[in-house]
């Protein structure tokens, strides 16, 4: 990055020629280098460096090869693979490393849940054989093959997914990690290796024996309703999918998700603790060892979710609006500073908003919110009240100079909505988004800002 405006021509001048023919002032170029990201994120490449780790006897974790982990259990006459990662390229890289350990055939593939980053390399692990593929039957849609009963806003979801995960951003200046996985990872073959399960696990789960290994598959709804955990009692290893990872849980994903049942997720953490695992093998981030450590971490995770639920619910009962709660509900300090609850992936305020909407709907209870003005109408009235477009742009410049980027963005949006920001308003917004991204600890938020800025610049 270098010292020039996002239009590539030195200082970023706001163009005259708006609807009111106002000559705007100038926002000087801002040096974007130096400290381009939150300092906590700078340690992510080292944490997510590729490795195959033996986490128990005959149990291996392939870590840092992709967004999610792959596990291998070596049995008497074959191996079990748990989850298959997000791309066929990553799966090929993982399989090559596993083949340095054993050449036994892959006889069973277990999918903990149906998110694409866990199921997209299945064809690679199944190649040359005929493994049994086990998955939960709890999903109301066949998400494994991305078939839905009713059409959804697919384009919107694709655009927002690209923004959340920073797909296409440059490494390491724009993307350094995704919060729970590496930023530098292969994307070729994303979603290409999905295979249908050969058998669905229903009810409360079941015990299966394969390759001389006895495993318990248990239904454990959390990040998705179809989550299934794998308990390997002989080794005291619990493969928990995405019910836990080293970050505040993604109770709402900004790419767009249906409501994730917070109470069910918290209850599932009690279920995980009841196994009394000595090794916890998550779908993302490193495996954890030690029964006491695991119990403490899972307790913290459960308590964090229940805190969000209780504080948000109490605020709703007190008549607070969704915006008020998003700004007032926080984790207690003793939880907020825990390494496994830092907001690298999920965010507390996103969770608060999701719980509010998911349990009571979009209306915040304030009668004024029932029929709000259109964004354009509200913007015109706001600008007039502020004294015109020039006054608003002066406020944008002041907010930018004071590094009050959220306020600057809200102001520039009003000028854009009203069509009174001049020809360079979108370039100004892109600059503000890039500046705002630098301070974000939350990777999805950082990526969303930068990717949206690039779209405006190219636009």
Give the separation between CA 84 and CA 92, rounded to whole angstroms. 10
Element (H, E) at 213: strand 213-219
Q: What is the full DSSP assignment across 224-284?
A: STT-EEEEEGGGTEEEEETT--SSS--SS-TT--PPP-HHHHHHHHHHHHHT--SEEEESS
Could you tell me the pTM of the whole model? 0.91
How large is the angle between the packed helices 405-418 and 389-401, nearest 10 degrees?
A: 160
Q: Which CATH architecture has domain 12-34+374-458?
A: Alpha Horseshoe (1.25)
pLDDT confidence of residue 148: 52
Side-chain half-sphere exposure of 177, counting CA atoms within 13 A: 27
Bond into 172 cis (ω within 30): yes
pLDDT confidence of residue 301: 98
Query: Taking Cα atoms as reference points, which of 126, 64, 82, 69 lies closest to residue 235?
Result: 82
Q: Which contacts qualify for 348-351: CB closer than 8 Å, 24 or more apart?
A: 348/248, 348/308, 350/251, 350/252, 350/254, 351/248, 351/249, 351/251, 351/252, 351/262, 351/308
From the options 1.10.240.10, 3.60.15.30, 3.90.226.10, 3.30.365.10, give the CATH code of 42-301.
3.60.15.30
* Contact of 348 with 341, CB cutoff 8 Å: no
pLDDT confidence of residue 14: 43
* Contact of 451 with 162, CB cutoff 8 Å: yes
Q: Which contacts qualify for 158-162: CB closer than 8 Å, 24 or more apart?
A: 160/254, 160/255, 160/256, 161/255, 161/256, 162/451
Straight-line distance from the first to the last Cα atom of the chain, in angstroms, rounded to the nearest whole number = 20
Q: What is the full DSSP assignment across 15-71?
A: PS-STT-----EEPP----SS-S-GGGGGHHHHT--EEEEEETTEEEEESSSSS-EE
**Residue 279: strand pairing partners:** 237, 289
Give the separation between CA 436 and CA 449, rounded to whole angstroms. 7
Residues in the chain: 459
Running along the chain, 459 residues long, what does each successive block of 10 average in pLDDT? 30 38 42 67 95 98 98 98 98 98 98 96 97 87 49 89 95 94 96 95 94 98 96 98 98 95 98 98 98 98 98 98 98 97 98 98 96 98 98 97 98 97 94 96 97 94
Give the separation between CA 44 and CA 24, rounded to whole angstroms. 41
Residue pLDDT, tens place only, 56-112: 999 999 999 999 999 999 999 999 999 999 999 999 999 999 999 999 999 999 999
- Residue the block writes with tokens 């196994």: 275
DSSP-derived secondary structure letter, 191: T
Query: Taking Cα atoms as reference points, which of 426, 457, 396, 459 lies closest to residue 174?
Result: 457
Query: Taking Cα atoms as reference points, which of 445, 448, 442 lies closest to residue 41?
Result: 442
Alpha helix ranges (H) inside 337-402: 348-360, 375-386, 389-401
pLDDT confidence of residue 68: 98
- Residue the block writes with tokens 């866990």: 118
Give the separation between CA 110 and CA 140, rounded to whole angstroms. 19
pLDDT confidence of residue 20: 34
* Contact of 126 with 195, CB cutoff 8 Å: yes
pLDDT confidence of residue 58: 98
Give the separation between CA 117 and CA 318, rounded to whole angstroms. 40
* Contact of 456 with 450, CB cutoff 8 Å: no
- Residue the block writes with tokens 């993307």: 175
Residue boundaries of the structural domains of the chain: 12-34+374-458, 42-301
CA angle 213, 219, 223 (to 5 degrees): 120
pLDDT confidence of residue 150: 64
């Amino acid at each position: 990055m270098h010292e020039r405006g996002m239009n590539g021509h030195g200082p970023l001048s706001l163009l005259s020629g708006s609807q009111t023919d106002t000559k705007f002032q100038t926002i000087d170029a801002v040096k974007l280098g130096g400290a381009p990201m939150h300092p906590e994120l700078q340690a992510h490449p080292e944490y997510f460096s590729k490795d195959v780790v033996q986490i128990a006897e005959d149990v291996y974790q392939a870590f840092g090869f992709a967004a999610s982990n792959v596990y291998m259990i070596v049995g008497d006459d074959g191996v079990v693979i748990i989850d298959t990662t997000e791309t066929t390229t990553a799966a090929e890289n993982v399989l090559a490393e596993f083949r340095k350990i054993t050449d036994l055939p892959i006889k069973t593939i277990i999918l903990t849940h149906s998110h694409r980053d866990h199921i997209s390399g299945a064809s690679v692990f199944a190649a040359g054989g005929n493994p049994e593929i086990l998955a939960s039957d709890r999903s109301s849609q066949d998400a494994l093959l991305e078939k839905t009963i009713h059409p959804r806003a697919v384009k919107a979801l694709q655009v927002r997914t690209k923004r959340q995960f920073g797909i296409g951003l440059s490494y390491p200046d724009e993307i350094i990690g995704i919060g729970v996985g590496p930023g530098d990872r292969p994307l070729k073959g994303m979603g290409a290796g999905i295979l249908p399960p050969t058998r669905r696990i229903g009810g409360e789960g079941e015990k299966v024996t394969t390759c001389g290994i006895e495993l318990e598959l248990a239904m454990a709804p959390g990040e998705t309703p179809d989550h299934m955990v794998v308990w390997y009692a002989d080794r005291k290893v619990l493969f928990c999918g995405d019910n836990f990872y080293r970050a505040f849980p993604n109770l709402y994903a900004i790419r767009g998700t249906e409501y994730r049942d917070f109470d069910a997720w918290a209850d599932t953490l009690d279920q995980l603790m009841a196994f009394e695992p000595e090794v916890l093998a998550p779908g993302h981030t490193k495996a954890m060892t030690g029964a006491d450590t695991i119990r403490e971490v899972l307790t913290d995770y459960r308590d964090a979710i229940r805190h969000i639920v209780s504080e948000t619910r109490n605020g709703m009962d007190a008549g607070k609006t969704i915006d008020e709660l998003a700004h007032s509900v926080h984790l207690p300090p003793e939880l907020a500073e825990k390494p496994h609850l830092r907001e690298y992936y999920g965010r507390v305020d996103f969770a608060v908003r999701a719980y509010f909407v998911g349990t009571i709907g979009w209306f915040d209870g304030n009668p004024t919110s029932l029929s709000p003005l259109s964004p354009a109408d509200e913007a015109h009235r706001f600008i007039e009240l502020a004294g015109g477009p020039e006054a608003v742009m002066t406020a944008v410049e002041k907010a930018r100079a004071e590094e009050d980027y959220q306020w600057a963005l809200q102001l520039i949006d009003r000028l854009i909505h009203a069509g009174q920001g001049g020809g360079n308003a979108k370039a100004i917004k892109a600059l503000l988004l890039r500046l705002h991204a630098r301070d974000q600890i939350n990777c999805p938020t950082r990526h969303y800002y930068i990717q949206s800025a690039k779209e405006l610049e190219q636009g």
